[in-house]
Amino acid sequence: MKRLIVLALLLSACQQPPPPVRPPDPAPPPSKVAEQSWQPNAAAVDVQVDGEYAWALRGNGTDLSGGTARTNTESMIKVWIALDFVASRRSVVSPADESALAKMIRDSDDQIAQRFYLQLGGDASVRRLIGTCRLADTRITPGWWSKTTVSAMDAARLGECLVDGPGISPEWRDKLVAMMRDIASDGRFGIPEAPALQGKPLAIKNGWTLHTDTWTVTCLAVWDGWSLAVLVRFKDRPGGHRYGAEVCATVADQLFKTA
């Protein structure tokens, strides 16, 4: 009889439904502030420029632009000259050349840029830039690297190309980006001055030149998957290139401003 009772109890226990499974706690909603801080707002860009300007933003599934200005690259193209040189050496670069590359980018040394440009075949290097980075609106000025003309979208593509580091080792790609994060103070203007981007790990390369009575200012910044380029042309005025720097900063701030 005891065996029958125990068996009945066991059968009864087996027939009880299993305890309900507690669903996992729902994930907390994403921070709206963090979400907004990384969402560009092209409609917010409205800069009144006494001259002409254009901007383009690429990366993270984004392809945005505004304005129609095309300008010379000026010193912005030095990052390509560095990338092309390292690729030509298959990422085996002497300490002396590495030091020169750092000076060319950080201090925007024109003489070093000219030396590397000639070593790379002059205009052949710019043709490689167009092909490697798939630029659509870039034009060569024979024998003159700084007068290579670009659209803002092509300038942003150059930024993407640099971060991808085609033809160079990951170590050297990181070195070039690190050089751009360590730009000398006189060349660190424009996009890094945007309040909305304070604290972001911006790697930049700007260009600025007065041609007779007209300034060309070019701003490029790459960080965390973004590549932002702003091109500005305007008549000379007190403060010189600072006017163009302020346009670059305003565009960046309006794109990423959260409030």
pTM attached to this predicted model: 0.84
* 106-164: pLDDT as tens digits: 999 999 999 999 999 999 999 999 999 999 999 999 999 999 999 999 999 999 999 99
| Residue-averaged pLDDT of the chain | 88
Residue 22: pLDDT above 80? no
CA–CA gap between residue 236 and residue 84 (Å, rounded)? 33
Here the tokens at position 197 are 């981007």
- The Cα–Cα gap between 253 and 91 comes to 36
Average pLDDT over residues 26-54: 69
How does pLDDT run across 194-213, given as a tens digit for each residue? Answer: 999 999 999 999 999 999 99
DSSP codes joined into one string, the chain? -HHHHHHHHHHHHHHSPPPPPPPPPPPPPPPHHHHHHTS--GGG-----SSEEEEEEEETTEEEEEE--EEE-GGGGHHHHHHHHHHHTTT---HHHHHHHHHHHHS--HHHHHHHHHHTTTHHHHHHHHHHTT-SS-B--TT-GGG-EEEHHHHHHHHHHHHH-TTS-HHHHHHHHHHHTT--GGG--SGGG-GGGTTS--EE--EEEEETTEEEEEEEEEETTEEEEEEEEEE--TTTTHHHHHHHHHHHHHHH---
Whether 143 contacts 121, CB under 8 Å = no
pLDDT of 21 > 70? The answer is no
For the chain, list the domains and their CATH numbers. 44-256 (3.40.710.10)
Distance CA 113, CA 118 (A): 9
Per-residue pLDDT, averaged over 79-98, amounts to 98
Choice among 39-48, 113-122, 225-234, 243-252 with the minimum mean pLDDT = 39-48
Q: Kindly tell me if the per-residue pLDDT of 55 is higher than 90.
A: yes
